[in-house]
Structure 1
Amino acid sequence: MPADRLTKAVILSFLRCYLVGANFNTRGMQNIGLVYAMLPGLAAIHKDPARFRQAVKRYVRHYNSHPFWAPCLVGIFLSTEQRIAAGAFPPAMLEKVKDRTTYTLSAIGDSVFAGSLLIYWALSTACLLLAGHTAAALLEGLIFFIGLQVFKVYTFWRGLRGGFLFLESLKRWDLINWGQRIKYANAALLLWFWMLVWPKPVAWQGWLAGMIGLAVTARLVQQFRLPRTIPAVGLAALWALYPVVVESLGGWPF
């Protein structure tokens, strides 16, 4: 096939990755969006109508992953389809590895992006705005936005070039542990946020009691697998009784 035709189809497939979640449905989740993104590349790879229809059927089943991984997965799938068209990769093998790859990256995306980086961006932006650093908050948002686009382009390109072999490089990135490190930073940002919104002057005894209460609550949730609402309500009740306890102990600053 002409190289320019394939290049244009690949670029169009990448751009359509931004619309993967536009037709979300309860049956196939993001499957319609995935097929929509794959169609230009599949049409350029499989010129035989029968093989093209077979290729499309491989992607109409259930699909759901974090949207930030959509370009990477589309790139990997298009690379695999090129090998299927060349007879170097059996189509049946794709079904076995596609779902496993999709759900693994989905879990990593939920932990690193949704559970760590997005929270970091929200907390840091709130803290910067409360501290009066409006320009810094805007600059941080632009950096995150541009960084996300670079991430999508890079992972799409690497997935397109390496196929499933790119997953070995992703494994070396150690994203899960990076997500844990970012959560520690989020805890520090949350403390900074409280310090900014807390009425002045700050009573260190109240801060100490609050930190101990949160630590104990988190430990109870983790160790006994309690629903988070139960210890949260208990902690809120104890905090409501805090003025009475303070007064009975001699009047700590409140």
Structure 2
Amino acid sequence: MKKSTRLKVCLNHQYLQGSWNFERMQNGGWCYGLLPALKELYPNKEDYNLAVERHLKFYNTHPYVSAPIVGIVLAMEEEKAKGADISDTSIQDVKIGLMGPLAGVGDPVFWFTMRPILAAVGASLALVQNVLGPIFFFVAWNVLRFGFLWITQELGYKKGTKLITDLSDTFLKNVTLAASMLGMFVVGILVQRFVSIDVVNIQSDLDMVLPGVLSLCVFFGCTKILKKGFSPVLLIVILFILCVMLEMAGILVM
């Protein structure tokens, strides 16, 4: 399969979530992404129609970690087009077997770690009136996003079904843990830099011993509350009201 064709597939696959339905979820976007490859592999119209039909079945996963599944399926379709004994069911089984575990990695790594980190860095630049803040977030996020899509799709294509063995539960858990640790590290830096809580009388004394300790206490306190299943939105509202009340009382200096 031509590299240019695989690149077209990667570009098309960005629209995975462009066609949702309650019966088969992302199947329309999935099939659309594969069309350039299917057209190259199956010049015969009947074979092409059958290939399109088998990729209109149920599909649902995180839009970014879907890329390695695309690569594996491309490799399987290429072998099938060459005459290999690969059934439609086996292709669908690979999709079903991977989309669940990978979705469990995509959410914490991308939605809950990488995007908030980049947004926080961009926001920190904006807070000091630097116009590069939103530009940084937009460019960095899209470079990371598309780079991951292309690299992992190529990895899946070149390794084929062997990649399934590499994506063990231990590996996926380690990736999630590493992303979480990175997120906590960056958030800790940003909290100390931009969160300021001044308490009457004791703040200056505490800063002489542990600078920013009250800010960190608030941060870890909120983290512990969230781990117990407390609503993040409700916590934000409570903190907002509490800060306003303490500010009005002259206890909290923002």
- Looking at structure 2, the residues matched to 132 and 221 of structure 1 have their Cα atoms a distance apart, in angstroms, of 31
Distance 2:139 2:102 in 1: 25
Residue in structure 1 matched with residue 114 of structure 2 by the alignment: 117
For the structure 1 residues 202 and 29, does the alpha-carbon distance in structure 2 shift closer, same or farther, using more than 3 Å as the test?
A: farther
What aligned pairs does 1:1-254 form with structure 2 within 5 A after superposition? 6-85=2-81, 86-135=83-132, 138=135, 141-169=138-166, 172=171, 174-188=174-188, 189-195=190-196, 204=203, 211-223=216-228, 225-228=229-232, 242=246
TM-score by length of 1: 0.74
Q: Distance in 2 between matches of 1:208 and 1:236?
A: 20
Deviation at 1:179, TM superposition (A): 1.7
Structure 1 contact 119–186 (Cα < 8 Å) conserved: no
Once the two structures are superposed, residues 19-73 of structure 1 have per-residue CA deviations (whole angstroms, 9 ceiling, x without a partner) of 2222233433321111111122123223444443332232212222222234433
The CA deviation string for residues 113-165 of structure 1, in whole angstroms up to 9 with x for no partner, is: 11100000000111122235545774575344334333222222222222232
In structure 2, give the amino acid aligned to 1:185.
Answer: F
Query: For 2:214 and 2:89, how far apart are their aligned partners in 1?
Result: 59
For residues 253 and 10 of structure 1, what CA distance do their matches in structure 2 show? 56
Q: What is the Cα deviation at residue 17 of structure 1?
A: 1.4
Could you tell me how far apart the structure 1 residues matched to 2:143 and 2:247 are? Answer: 48
Q: Cα 1:69–1:232, aligned 2, differ >3 Å: closer, same or farther?
A: closer
Percent sequence identity is: 18
TM-score by length of 2: 0.74
Q: CA RMSD in A?
A: 3.9
Question: For residues 185 and 208 of structure 1, do their structure 2 counterparts lie closer, same or farther at Cα, with a shift above 3 Å needed?
Answer: closer
C-alpha contact 1:46 1:52 (8 A) present in aligned 2: yes
Given residue 21 of structure 2, which amino acid in structure 1 is its aligned partner? N
* Structure 1 residues 234 and 135: CA distance shift in structure 2, 3 A: closer
Q: Which runs of 5+ in 1 are unaligned?
A: none
Deviations 1:196-227 (A, max 9, x none): xx79x99837975564455344334434x444
How many residues are paired up?
Answer: 243
